[in-house]
Amino acid sequence: GGGTAMDAVIAAVQFMEECPLFNSGKGAVFNAEGKNELDASVMDGFTGKAGAVAGVTIIRSPVEAARRVMDSSQHVMLSGKGAEAFAREQGLELVDPSYFHTDESWQEYLKVKERLEQEGRKGTVGAVALDSHGNLAAATSTGGMTFKKYGRIGDSPVIGAGTYASNESCAVSCTGHGEYFIRNSVAYDVSARMLYLGETVEQAAEYIINEKLKSQGGAGGLIAVDKNGNISMPFNTPGMFRGFVKQGAEPRVLMFR
């Protein structure tokens, strides 16, 4: 409809932040202290600007806060209380931490706590888009890892690891075992392989997820769209909930292979 890629990815991710079926926003997983700590990031392929927030607890829409960091500050990433103070200054909606609490996530937390295992429901959310002006954008939002400790931050708010966009190549949003995605700069690596090796978005994404990460034991996947509208959605896990829509075509939703 002539809108921007950035508006599109923000709208898509905000919808999923409001839905307790995913691990972002309302219904996000709990950390080791029984609290919800949220991360999000955005990147604009046209300007190369990016924004992120990490470890926030009272911002209703972390992805919107990430966009404000990009548009209304000199910084790329703000964390914790500083990010929340910035959101307050920006007039974003703040909520009591109980807003993010759902019984399903709490019961999962209790089970994990009892077993002392760091496992649980995955569900980082993200969106990538190419608009009619030829601009790309990416956004990612997550509650992180169930029972995470010590202020752990994964790849979702890290530009180049969980989120990346450049009009020269592609827009990427990742989900999975964040430590592997950070160490391998996965989101940026898709773009780099396209630019430096001449690979297609499919070749680059498939190699990174199903060869490079898999060989290291890193589980996860990504969604990507290139500057020509080609889509890649590889994953090395049993399933990854994903979907896409192109102009003039019916939307497609996929869960498993």
Reported as a single tens digit per residue, the pLDDT across 173-224 is 999 999 999 999 999 999 999 999 999 999 999 999 999 999 999 999 999 9
When pLDDT is averaged across residues 32-42 and rounded to a whole number, the result is: 94
pLDDT tens digit sequence for 66-106: 999 999 999 999 999 999 999 999 999 999 999 999 998 88
- Whether the pLDDT of residue 10 is over 80: the answer is yes
Answer yes or no: is pLDDT of 150 > 80: no
Q: Give the list of residues 6+ apart from residue 184 with CB closer than 8 angstroms, or none.
A: 161, 208, 212, 213, 216, 218
**What percent of the chain has a predicted confidence (pLDDT) above 90?**
85
pTM summary value? 0.91
What digits encode the pLDDT tens for the residues 109-139? 887 776 644 444 557 999 999 999 999 999 9
Phi-psi category of 145—alpha, beta or left, where left has phi over 0 and alpha has psi -120 to 50?
beta
Mean pLDDT of 234-251: 94
Instruction: Please report, for the chain, the start and end positions of each structural domain, with discontinuous segments joined by +.
Output: 5-167
Assess contact for 45 and 68: CB atoms under 8 A.
no
Which pLDDT does position 244 carry in this prediction? 97
What percent of the chain has a predicted confidence (pLDDT) above 70?
Answer: 96
Catalytic residue (choose from 47, 102, 124, 200): 124
As a whole number of angstroms, the distance between CA 151 and CA 69 comes to 20
Reduce the secondary structure of 34-62 to three states and give it as a string. Answer: CCCCEEEEEEECCCCCEEEEEEECCECCH
DSSP-derived 3-state class of residue 78: strand
Cβ-contact 56, 143 below 8 angstroms: no
Question: What pLDDT is stored for residue 1 in this prediction?
Answer: 85
124 catalytic per annotation: yes
